[in-house]
Amino acid sequence: MYRLRNTVMSGLVALGCSTVALPAQDATDRPGEPGPTVAQRELVQQLGASSFFIRERAAEKLVSQGVAAKAVLTEAIEDPDLEIRWRARRILNGMLQDAFETRLAAFVADVEGREQHGLPGWKRFKELAGDGRDAREMFVAMTRFEGALLSAYGKQSPELPELFAACVAELQSLAASGNSDARAIPPQTVATLLLIGSDETAKDHSRGLSQLYQLLCHSAVRQAIGIPARPSILRTLLEKWATSAALTGSSHGMMLALKYDLKEAGLRQALRFINQETKSSSTLHYAIITVGRFGGEEHVRLLTPLLANKTVCHTWTNRALKKDGSIKVEVRDAALVVLLRMTGEDPGEFGFRLLKEHPETMYYVYTFGFVNDEERETVHAKWAAESRADEN
């Protein structure tokens, strides 16, 4: 389905199973190409001849001319005769594919970067992932699979948000199909989405953040990113995406850092958010958790002021624990849990009796609080008393 999308968006509408999916058409165009000749137009008309032998011979002659016949074949795909249109498109697709594969091979071989190959998105990809052979091979795979999407990105085309959303939706469908094989998720497509999704200058950048986040949380995609093939490149792109998500004020970046164990990227985002003057309480909750997961004793002073923050950051209900009303988590509760861990104490033994361990967030986010305010005040007062004793 990925290749069909590339074909359609390249302006090469599929006419039968022989159609080859090409990267964006602009990637193969060259200025100053000759126009159609009379002899070439005669050959094109022979593509619709009643004799099979004549049709085949005309096709062979046009193929032998290579790119010199590109203009006349491009013209022929609009011919009123269906047979001519079909044969011209088949020849043109093959010609463009061969030419493009030649360019891709030259691109991979050009490890010193001496030539300009005109591949959309390569400049930014190189800045993030380097320009070694592995990076070039990955980018070639991305171009083969997602040429239309990369072309729209390179042009900042109005169609980019729709193409991006369609690509995410396709992977979501594939991931949800029940196929547990990580190889079913093309890493080159994931890499393309991360490259474009992490670019704050991309058209309507923020529109696809939530959809892409949901996709990246899927177990099949997480396996695909974690497989041995080029993991460093994918993780580099993932870290960049997580950072760009944080710039929108979303907690998605930190949540991904927790899922994928991106220590440096996650901690950097969390510290930046805690130091902001205006904060979302729920995002602040994740920032505190991220500091607890990736930080250390050097961050105790940063979290200590948050013990005065009584803003509710999470609520939930459990009638077995509390028949009426909701169970609340306040910012100061999360801060205290993390401070206790950083100072070598067990939060559960200290009085946080609801805590349930979670491999990503240390504890399930809704279990940081208390059933009632009396329990909360008792625990916080205990911490305050012990802190004063330590100071003395």
Express each pLDDT in 212-243 by its tens digit.
888 898 888 888 787 544 458 888 899 888 88
> Within a domain: residue 253?
no
- How far, in Å, are 11, 127, 221, 370 from residue 334 at the CA level? 54, 38, 30, 11
Q: State residue 117's pLDDT score.
A: 58
Residue 254 lies in a domain: no
Determine the average pLDDT of the residues in 281-295: 95
Name, in order, each residue with C-beta under 8 angstroms of 190's C-beta and a sequence gap of 6 or more. Answer: 171, 221, 224, 225, 234
Question: Regarding predicted confidence, which is higher, 9 or 373?
Answer: 373
Query: In degrees to the nearest 10, what's the CA dihedral of 162, 165, 166, 169?
Result: -160
Residues 105 and 146 in one domain: no
Predicted pLDDT at 392:
62
Determine the Cα–Cα distance for residues 287 and 270; give it in Å rounded to an integer: 4
**Bridge partner list, 328:** 315, 370
Stretch 88-115: mean pLDDT: 72
CA distances, 290 to each of 253, 259, 271, 298, 380 (Å): 11, 11, 9, 14, 21
Domain boundary residue, one of 109, 125, 153: 109
For residue 19, give its domain range. Answer: 1-109
Residue 209 has pLDDT above 50, yes or no: yes
CB 200 within 8 A of CB 229: no
192 φ, ψ to 5°?
A: -65, -45
In terms of domains, do 87 and 123 share one?
Answer: no
Q: What is the mean pLDDT of residues 366-379?
A: 95
Q: In sequence order, what are the beta bridge partners of 315?
A: 328
- For the chain, the straight-line distance linking the first and the last C-alpha, in angstroms and rounded, comes to 69
Output phi, psi for 327, to 5 deg.
Answer: -95, 130
Quick: pLDDT tens for 10-25: 332 222 222 333 443 4
Amino acid at 289: I
**Sign of the alpha-carbon torsion through 327, 330, 334, 336:** negative
Query: Is the residue at 243 inside a domain?
Result: yes
Six-digit token string for 363: 């504890």
Residue 169 has pLDDT above 50, yes or no: yes
Lowest mean pLDDT segment, chosen from 26-30, 167-171, 182-186, 317-321: 26-30
pLDDT, tens digit, 9 for 90 and up, residues 331-372: 999 999 999 999 999 999 999 999 999 999 999 999 999 999
- Is 256 inside a domain boundary? no
Domain boundary among the residues 225, 248, 271 is at 248
Q: Give dist(CA 86, CA 88) in Å, integer.
A: 6
- Pick the more confident residue, 28 or 270: 270
Q: Is residue 204 predicted with pLDDT exceeding 80? A: no
Specify the pLDDT at position 25.
41
Q: How many domains does the chain have?
A: 3
Q: Indicate the SS3 state at residue 22.
A: coil
| pLDDT value of position 308 | 95
Strand partners, 316: 327
pLDDT of residue 1: 40
Question: Do residue 116 and residue 240 come from a single domain?
Answer: yes
Evaluate if residue 9 carries a pLDDT over 70: no
- 100 and 114 together in one domain: no
CB atoms under 10 Å from CB of 109, counted, come to: 11
**Mean pLDDT lowest among 245-259, 354-368, 370-384:** 245-259
Among all chains, which residue has been given the structure tokens 């994928």?
A: 260
Do 222 and 120 fall into the same domain?
Answer: yes
No. of helices (H) and no. of strands (E), the chain? 19, 4
pLDDT bin (cut points 50, 70, 90) of residue 115 is low
Give the pLDDT mean for 78-96. Answer: 86
Whether residue 9 is contained in a domain is answered as yes
For residue 127, pLDDT beyond 60: yes
Q: Residue 32 above 80 pLDDT?
A: no
In a domain, 273, yes or no: no
Mark whether 85 and 168 lie in a shared domain. no
